[in-house]
Structure formats: C-alpha cells, structure tokens
Amino acid sequence: MAAPKKSVAKESGQEKAGSPPEFTREQELKALRDMLLIRRFEEKAGQLYGMGAIGGFCHLYIGQEAVVVGMQMALKQGDQVITGYRDHGHMLATGMDANGVMAELTGRRGGYSKGKGGSMHMFSKEKHFYGGHGIVGAQVSLGTGLAFANHYRGNDNVSVTYFGDGAANQGQVYESFNMAELWKLPVIYVIENNRYAMGTSVSRASAQQDFSKRGVSFNIPGKQIDGMDVRAVKAAADEAVAWCRGGNGPMILEMQTYRYRGHSMSDPAKYRTREEVEKVRHDQDPIEQVRNRLLAAKVSEQDLKAIDAEVRDIVNAAADFAQHDPEPDAAELYTDIYR
C-alpha cells in the first residue's frame, strides 16, 4: 500500500522554520558538482548492474545526495565517516576515487577492498571512511567507538555516523546513544529518513516518526532537517560539529530525504506510487534546486552543462577502468583473513 503523498520536508508534520543561509557562488558550484558526481556515478552503477557487470547487492543513493554533500562541507581533515550499505555517495563525498569505488563494485583488484568486498564493504583509512556495513545498524556502535577513540586521544575530531529510518529501531542504536551521552562522545548521528527503510513506510514501522526525538530519554539534542536542501544540511552540520567539538557530547540530525530507486536494484518498489516519486523529483530534487539558484544568479546554462560533462567523463572513465581491470588472483582468497 502506498503512503499518502506529502512533502519530504514535512514527513513528521512539522513545518520548517525560516530559510537556510544562502551559499556563496563557489559553494553552490561545489555542491552542484559533488552531487552530480554521486548522481551520475549511481546511474552508471545501475546500468552496469543491469548488464551483469555488478553482482550481489547494489543500493543506490539517487535522490539523497544533498545529505552527505552538505555534511561533508562542514567537516575537516581527520573527521571520520561511517555508514550502512547505501554507501557509494558517502565514499565519493569523502574524496575516494571513482575508479576504485567502481572497480570494487565489479569485483576487480583495483577496488578499495581488492575486489573482495563489493558494494557494501569498502574502506579508506586515508579519507577516514570507515566503511559501508551490511548489517542493519551495525555501524552505529562502531561510529560511537570512533568517537570514543577521539575522546580518549584528546583530539577534536568528530565521528559522523549515518544510518536510516529502518536502522533507527535497532537496539544497539540506543545502547550507543546511552554510552555516547554518558561519556560526552563527539559523534553526530545522522538519520537518513528516506521514508521507506527496506520497503515499509515509517508510518507502519515506527511508533515515533519524529526521529530527531529518538535521543530525548538520553538527553541528546536532535533536529529535523530538510535533507533535500544542501544549504539546510550544511547549516545543521555546522551547528552539530561545533556542538561536538565543544565537548558537549552527541547530537542527532534527522535528514528528511527520499530515494528515487528501490531499496536495492532487485526491489521493484511497489509499496509507493510512480506519481509520488515523480512529484518529489519535480518539486524537491536536490540537484535541480542548486541548478535553479545558479541560473537565477546568472550562471550560464553552458557553464552548468560543462560541469555535468566533466562529471560524466570521470564516471565513464571509472566504468571503463572497472570493466577492464583484472579480477583478483585466486591467492587473494587466503589474505585479509582473521583466525
């Protein structure tokens, strides 16, 4: 049964107060490019999956780009990122190479996990990305552990721990909340509420649909954010980062967003109507919002097309690399194994 049509930004029934701070021209252009890179990469990944070049699970981030791009704009070198299995966008936003990500999707030796991890299991110590994780909610306790390490070492780094509306009902999430607040750990819990988890509307699965309130019993402050507006995400991220760096403990940011594709490539998404998806695309698409603001600021259509063309070249090169890079040697079956 499809959920009733409503604005993503009003999923919990709460109006958003005021407009987010305006971006500079440079910020708008960076946000556009970063979101386009994720969008075009995911579109290409979907194509390769359909061709059989990518096997296993493949969860696309199309529609949610503003969340990770806006968050990343507020972070500094050394801050950590960890997420679940809808993770390609997070990797690209942290600066991981498109070639390495796509090669991992196709199971090639040039992938970030040597072709052995696939879509859900990639890491980059250099970019402080601590993985996509296939177990629902597993990354929340790990992200809390990253924050504990920062606290223990006495640095001012922040752990940004992403999870979805479905994972928000997992027990380990609340154990993590309790520990984080008790020890005042510098962790931002980003709940990417795309409304459907693995295929069930939040109205059918969650007694408390305002996920920003999930930390109330632990005295953790939370905010609801329009996760389709990269400016709103950046503003909330700035506040949360300052809160955590100031030694005040964790904060919860509920990003009200929307995924255009199914839960994974094998999901026909029959639990919602085509009209609902198209309405969100038309009214709230995060990339089109930035594009329209740039056009209004007299940036030429030709300049915007040039950015898209540059991004497409990067993605096409990554796809070519990922299809021609050698597969891992059979001996790799016996490496990276803990006894």
Tens digit of each residue's pLDDT (9 = 90 or more) over 36-90: 999 999 999 999 999 999 999 999 999 999 999 999 999 999 999 999 999 999 9
* pLDDT at site 278: 96
Residue 14 has pLDDT above 60, yes or no: no
Tens-digit pLDDT profile for residues 261-308: 999 998 999 999 999 999 999 999 999 999 999 999 999 999 999 999
Identify the pLDDT of residue 6.
45
* CA-based nearest residue to 137, from 165, 117, 159: 165
Axis crossing angle, helix 286-296 with helix 65-72, rounded to the nearest 10: 70
CB 305 within 8 A of CB 87: no
Q: What mean pLDDT do residues 26-36 have?
A: 98
Among candidate residues 334, 256, 230, 266, the one with its CA nearest the CA of residue 119? 266
Q: For residue 2, what pLDDT is reported?
A: 44
- Please write the tens of the pLDDT for every residue from 171-192: 999 999 999 999 999 999 999 9
With a cut of 90, say whether residue 237 has pLDDT above it: yes
| Residue 101 confidence (pLDDT) | 98
pTM of the model: 0.93
Name the one residue in this structure whose structure tokens are 């950046």.
Answer: 234
Residues 6+ apart with CB under 8 A from 31: 23, 66, 69, 70, 73, 230, 290
Burial of 315: CB neighbours in 10 Å, binned 0-12, 13-18, 19+: buried
Tokens 């996760």 map to which residue? 227
Residue 89 sits at the vertex; the CA angle it makes with 309 and 98, to the nearest 5 degrees, is 55
Over residues 106-119, the mean pLDDT reads 96
Question: Does residue 5 surpass a pLDDT of 50?
Answer: no
pLDDT at 12: 38
7 has pLDDT over 90:
no
**Does the structure show a pLDDT above 60 at 234?**
yes
Q: What percent of the chain has pLDDT over 90?
A: 93
What does the pLDDT read at residue 250? 98
Q: Which pLDDT score, from 0 to 100, does residue 19 have?
A: 87
- What's the pLDDT at 17? 54
Mean pLDDT of 126-138: 96
Is residue 109's pLDDT more than 90? yes
Determine the average pLDDT of the residues in 206-213. Answer: 96
Mean residue pLDDT of the chain comes to 94
Close Cβ partners of 184 (under 8 Å, ≥ 6 residues apart): 151, 247, 248, 249
Average pLDDT over residues 110-125: 95
